[in-house]
Amino acid sequence: MIKKLLFIVLILRISSSLQAQQVTPVYLDVNKPLEERVENALSQMTTEEKVALCHAQSKFSSKGVPRLGIPEVWTDDGPHGIREEVLWDEWGGAGWTNDYCTAFPALTCLAASFNPELSLLYGKSIGEEARYRNKNVLLGPGVNIYRTPLNGRNFEFLGEDPYLASRMVIPYIQGVQSIGVAACVKHFALNNQETWRGHINVNVSDRALYEIYLPAFKAAVQEGKVWSIMGSYNQFRGEHCCHNNLLLNNILKQEWNFDGVVITDWGGTHNTDQAVKNGLDLEMGTYTNGLTSRSKLPYSEYYLANPFLKGIKEGKYDIALLNDKARRILRLIFRTTMSANRPFGRFVSPEHSEAGRKIAQEGIVLLKNEKQLLPIPAGKYNKIAVIGENAVRSLVIGGGSSSLKVAYEVSPLEGLIAKYGKDHIVQSLGYASGPSMYGREAKSKLNADSLVAAAVDVAKNADVVLFVGGLNKNHFQDCEGGDRKSLDLPFDQDKLIEALLKVNKNVVIVMLSGNAVAMPWVDKVPAIVQGWYLGSEAGNALTDVISGDVNPSGKLPFSFPKKLEDNAAHFFGKLSYPGDSVNVYYKEDILVGYRWFDTKNIAPLFPFGYGLSYTSFAYSKPTADKAEVNSDGTVKVSFTLTNSGKTDGAETAQLYVSKPKSAVTRAAKELKAFKKVFLKAGKSTTVTLDVPVSSFAFYNEAKHSWEVESGNYTLLLGSSSRDIKGKVNIQVK
């Protein structure tokens, strides 16, 4: 017995001694450099463990390395709010009671703010919500260029201009990642339509690719330092973009030195060989269409699962390809979940509500305001008629993967009642769309004629009518999986507006949408507000602007065409959009959005960068700090901006560059700088815009490089692409 006790004591002493000498593994030591931790972890992993990192284990997660204490990767939609929890292997909601989120405004609204500081606030706020829910990859933001107003997902993106999208995406990424959550910029690349998105092959020139469709992604990688990128469903030059050698290997990882993770869109992988060799790192959602269908096929049979492992063991695939994928995924995990400096999150907080309201306020665009019908301060009118389904309909649900389960949503009607009082508001539906049914058109069972008659009866006895309409994220409106069928408003809203105008001339149109719409009544109505999808604080933010508590300062992030054929993608016919079901040809090349309208001298309904205010602004003549500059220099353009009205407000000054005489085709003008300036009534300030001459470059397809032409350039200062306030000429040597 004594010998047994002595033996136990000896063992305990040896164990204690070993524990005292034990050193924390390098990969767990948060004080070690990131790359050293990554390499140390990689060296301790088996081939099977490395492969397991590269594919999903559930609808929204992938494996870690349990043996080494390395956690899983948990992703989450979307760019406007943290999606509800879903079942492990199904798309249906898990039925949790603690996953109600804050809905932030859609990214079209953020882009319309033209305010990078708000983009940083947006990123931090949504990053905190993701962090609180223990997500380490936020599937957003989206930066696909607004090419056609029919694209069902335009509301998720940052507009038609690559420079605007670039400047707005960088702080969003920095905000999200400052909370220890990876942003996942999407969809790389050329995902500019939902029609046939799973297979359509995009044909576009190298020049348009580099000048229009890639700059926001490049800025996200090289300036935003984004930690992950999502591939797109479509094909480019015959290869699906989730495993496209040119896009992922040559451009993203070699030209741009991207060190993060390439993640598929859900169901975007089609081939093991291409997935292994062409730059994909993490495969998600295979054997589903990315939306609704599911399969009993196990995750172990994904293209980057057992087929990949089998190929490694048989010598078909170089182990270096596997190590590169595993290395990138480990780097992501160590940057997020296993970071020592990762802050705590917070969820549905007053600060997030305030942020959402502020972003919505600054993104709302005043398009028309004749006779100063707006603002409408409390007490100005006795009876305000609120007409339109969007005044009461939830606009945070629907739309596809960005659909949200929110803690609260203030409708426009609720916001208006809170401001003006229930006794001063009369309401009528006017039109009805029916329930949002994904994958099919929804129709209301209510009688359309009766709804119109009731609305007209309410309108004729009101002092002013607020018509709150637009789109609503139903299928074939602003919705993933299907493009709009026309530029027109759905549900006979145009007919309703005409009927309202016959009985009341004081009609304010409030459009809630993520896309441009046709406005056949534009010359008849005195006031139009573009309100986007504004999130949880929608009603409060809209009311702030309508009442005048907030002076509108939003600018359009894309052009509104008068008719669909005026849009460049549609001008060239069906092969240009939507294609022939196999190929689509971007025949407008670099002339996208205002570049097309301004170069071809086609008048838009409302131009890019346009937005009115309740005050007025005066611009002095701009001056440049130098008349001649080298191609690697910077030009500083200065001017005096004056709030010449009687109301405090903000103006976004925009600087465009033009080169009338060029060796290559150029747009009439291109946005190269902007600044949002807040001024008290009657006050002035000097504004300086820095423009790197390198931004004047075009992409030389023959040389596969950027080139700045020497010669004369004109810098155009304006309040929109069509309202130029002054010019200054410079010579580039």
CATH 3.40.50.1700 in the chain: give the residue spans.
Answer: 364-558
Looking up tokens 């301790």 gives 44
Give the pLDDT of residue 287: 80
Q: Determine the CATH number of domain 364-558.
A: 3.40.50.1700
Distance CA 43, CA 709 (A): 50
Q: What are phi and psi of 541, to 5 degrees?
A: -65, -45
Residue 141 preceded by cis peptide, ω within 30: yes
Return all residues near 501 (Cβ < 8 A) that are at least 6 apart: 507, 521, 524, 525
Nearest partner of 439 among 476, 393, 404, judged by Cα: 476
Quick one: tokens of 59?
């609808």
Looking up tokens 């699906």 gives 240
Helices (H) and strands (E) in the chain, counts: 18, 27
Q: What is the DSSP letter of 430?
A: -
Nearest partner of 543 among 426, 413, 634, judged by Cα: 413
Nearest partner of 104 among 435, 349, 342, judged by Cα: 349
Looking up tokens 């701009």 gives 622
* Torsion angle (degrees, nearest 10) of CA 703, 708, 711, 715: 140
Q: Hey, what amino acid is at 155?
A: F
| Angle between helical axes of 116-132 and 162-177 (0-180°, round to 10) | 40
pLDDT digits (tens, 9 = 90+) for 349-385: 999 999 999 999 999 999 999 989 999 999 999 999 9
Give the pLDDT of residue 11: 40
pLDDT digits (tens, 9 = 90+) for 441-494: 678 899 999 999 999 999 999 999 999 999 999 999 999 999 999 999 999 999
Cα 688 vs. chain centroid, distance in angstroms?
Answer: 28
CATH 3.20.20.300 in the chain: give the residue spans.
Answer: 28-335
Q: How many CA atoms lie within 13 A of 527 on its CB side?
A: 25
- Hey, which residues are catalytic here? 265
Give the pLDDT of residue 293: 58
User: Quick one: three-class SS letters along 662-678?
Assistant: CCCCCCCCEEEEEEEEE
Distance CA 182, CA 176 (A): 7
Q: How many CB atoms lie within 10 A of CB 138?
A: 28
Q: What are phi and psi of 367, to 5 degrees?
A: -90, -30
Query: Residue 17 class from Cβ within 10 Å (0-12 exposed, 13-18 middle, 19+ buried)?
Result: exposed
Low-confidence stretches of the chain (pLDDT < 70) are: 1-23, 288-296, 436-441
Residue 189 preceded by cis peptide, ω within 30: yes
**Dihedral of alpha carbons 574, 579, 584, 590, sign:** positive
Which pTM does this prediction carry? 0.95
Quick one: tokens of 718?
């304006």
Residue 187 preceded by cis peptide, ω within 30: yes
Q: Any alpha helices (H) in 389-529, and if so which ranges?
A: 412-420, 448-459, 493-503
Give the pLDDT of residue 289: 57
- Domain 615-732 homologous superfamily, CATH: Immunoglobulins (2.60.40.10)
Q: Hey, what amino acid is at 265?
A: D
Give the pLDDT of residue 89: 86
Give the pLDDT of residue 90: 85
CATH 2.60.40.10 in the chain: give the residue spans.
Answer: 615-732
Looking up tokens 């993490």 gives 282
Strands 228-231 and 182-188, how do they pair? parallel
- Which CATH class name applies to 28-335? alpha beta
Distance CA 73, CA 329 (A): 9
Distance CA 577, CA 424 (A): 47
| CA Rg value for the chain | 27
Nearest partner of 429 among 410, 399, 449, judged by Cα: 449
Give the pLDDT of residue 611: 98
Quick one: tokens of 31?
């004080």
| Angle between helical axes of 162-177 and 215-222 (0-180°, round to 10) | 30
